């Protein structure tokens, strides 16, 4: 495909660079942290974010944003949602016309209430670059060890979706195409909020019944908001909806779930996130999603409860009681 660049050298960005290299591609991996660049260049390991995984010699770390994106045919954004706008505003002038931009970020920006692809469209100011979204149930720890996973590549351009599919598909990483960009992005973003709720429930030791109820009703509110935003209902039964939701609500490798467990056991959100190297996107997304749902008149009680626990001083047990004693209604 020519030059390929991955922006963001956290666990997932590094893993996606490895997937691309396993497909025979040379990859430029942009990392902010000098320590990360040095570790990869000298020892072929990202000790900070993906320790224990030996990286391909086809991956070249880079610290300059211009050098990273200039001339690239495929640019993969694995930047936390709150950083996407700033990075692409800086990178925009150096991005080649016709390059495909792939967003592997899951979140909703506070204030603008935009998904990552919407942020990219604004930051790149109508450059005409095709944008695709890569999302699905995929823990970096497992994919980096080449354990089987399946995700989807969504774009309004079928050519772009297929190009991303071809670039990333290996014998352990299967990529399906999809045209519902909004549904795929919202599924990937909102499931992180529900995963925090599931973690809180497990931290409170409320049992498997409670967690199953949260997953099921969480999916219902994800779908409600998605349909209001123009997404297809069926998307939320797919990899980026139900698939990603089940994984993040039940797997101890999920950062959002483990944040919820700690909060359920009595820790404050500042105490939990203060010691984290990596971002738990649901912590910020709960506010953006709640704001978006409110502006559209969409009921999202679980999302609002997570927001209230994390930011408004509501005790986890009080939030659970509020959810259980809401007005009775049809499923």
Mean local confidence (pLDDT), 131-142: 97
In sign, the C-alpha dihedral spanning 98, 182, 251, 321 is positive
Contact 222, 231 (CB under 8 A): no
Conformation bin of residue 139: beta by default, left when phi > 0, alpha when psi is -120 to 50: beta
What pLDDT, on a 0 to 100 scale, did the predictor assign at position 15? 98
What pLDDT, on a 0 to 100 scale, did the predictor assign at position 252? 87
Per residue in 262-293, pLDDT (tens digit) is 999 999 999 998 877 777 899 999 999 999 99
Which one is predicted more confidently, 21 or 1?
21
User: What is the pLDDT confidence band of residue 295, given thresholds at 50, 70 and 90?
Assistant: very high
To the nearest whole percent, how much of the chain has pLDDT over 70?
Answer: 100
Conformation bin of residue 230: beta by default, left when phi > 0, alpha when psi is -120 to 50: left
User: What is the pLDDT confidence band of residue 184, given thresholds at 50, 70 and 90?
Assistant: very high
Task: Return the SS3 of 135.
Answer: strand
What pLDDT, on a 0 to 100 scale, did the predictor assign at position 14? 98
Contact 144, 50 (CB under 8 A): yes
The strand pairing partners of 239, in sequence order, are: none
Angstrom distance (rounded) from CA 4 to CA 27: 5
Mean local confidence (pLDDT), 119-134: 91
Q: Which residues of 271-283 are buried (b: 16+ CB within 10 A; e: fewer)?
A: ebbeeeeebbbbb
Name the residue with tokens 């200039």: 70
What pLDDT, on a 0 to 100 scale, did the predictor assign at position 305? 98
Per residue in 58-96, pLDDT (tens digit) is 999 999 999 999 999 999 999 999 999 999 999 999 999
Q: Flag whether the pTM goes above 0.75.
A: yes
Per residue in 90-113, pLDDT (tens digit) is 999 999 999 999 999 999 998 999
Q: CA 276: distance to chain centroid? A: 17
pLDDT of 146 strictly over 90: yes
What pLDDT, on a 0 to 100 scale, did the predictor assign at position 97? 92
Catalytic-labelled residue, pool 3, 106, 191, 284: 191
pLDDT of 44 strictly over 90: yes
Per residue in 6-35, pLDDT (tens digit) is 999 999 999 999 999 999 999 999 999 999
Per residue in 207-250, pLDDT (tens digit) is 999 999 999 999 999 999 999 999 999 999 999 999 999 999 99
Q: Is there a catalytic annotation at residue 191?
A: yes
Q: Which domains, ranges and CATH numbers included, belong to the chain?
A: 4-179 (3.40.50.720), 187-324 (1.10.1040.10)
- When the pLDDT of each residue in the chain is averaged and rounded to a whole number, the result is 96
């Amino acid at each position: 495909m020519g030059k390929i660049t991955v922006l963001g050298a956290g666990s997932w960005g590094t893993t996606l660079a490895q997937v691309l290299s396993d497909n025979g591609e040379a990859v430029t991996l942009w990392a902010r942290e000098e320590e990360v660049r040095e570790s990869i260049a000298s020892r072929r390991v990202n000790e900070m974010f993906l320790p224990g995984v030996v990286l391909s010699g086809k991956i070249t770390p880079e610290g300059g944003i211009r050098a990273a994106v200039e001339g690239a045919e495929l640019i993969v954004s694995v930047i936390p949602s709150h950083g996407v706008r700033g990075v692409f505003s800086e990178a925009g002038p150096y991005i080649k016309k016709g390059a495909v931009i792939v967003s592997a970020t899951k979140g909703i920006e506070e204030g603008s209430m935009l998904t990552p692809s919407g942020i990219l469209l604004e930051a790149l100011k109508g450059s005409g670059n095709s944008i695709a979204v890569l999302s699905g149930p995929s823990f970096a720890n497992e994919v980096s060890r080449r354990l089987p996973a399946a995700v989807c590549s969504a774009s309004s351009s079928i050519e772009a979706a297929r190009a991303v599919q071809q670039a990333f598909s290996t014998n352990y990483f299967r990529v399906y195409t999809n045209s519902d960009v909004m549904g795929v992005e919202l599924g990937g973003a909102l499931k992180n909020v529900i995963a925090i709720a599931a973690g809180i429930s497990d931290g409170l030791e409320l049992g498997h019944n409670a967690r199953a109820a949260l997953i099921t009703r969480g999916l219902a509110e994800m779908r409600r908001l998605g349909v209001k935003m123009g997404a297809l209902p069926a998307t939320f039964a797919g990899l980026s909806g139900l698939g990603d939701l089940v994984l993040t609500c039940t797997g101890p490798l999920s950062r959002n779930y483990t944040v919820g467990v700690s909060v359920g056991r009595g820790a404050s959100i500042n105490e939990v996130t203060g010691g984290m190297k990596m971002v738990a996107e649901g912590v910020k997304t709960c506010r953006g999603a709640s704001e978006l749902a409110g502006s559209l008149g969409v009921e999202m009680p679980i999302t609002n409860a997570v927001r209230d626990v994390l930011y408004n001083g509501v005790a986890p047990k009080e939030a659970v009681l509020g959810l259980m004693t809401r007005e009775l209604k049809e499923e």
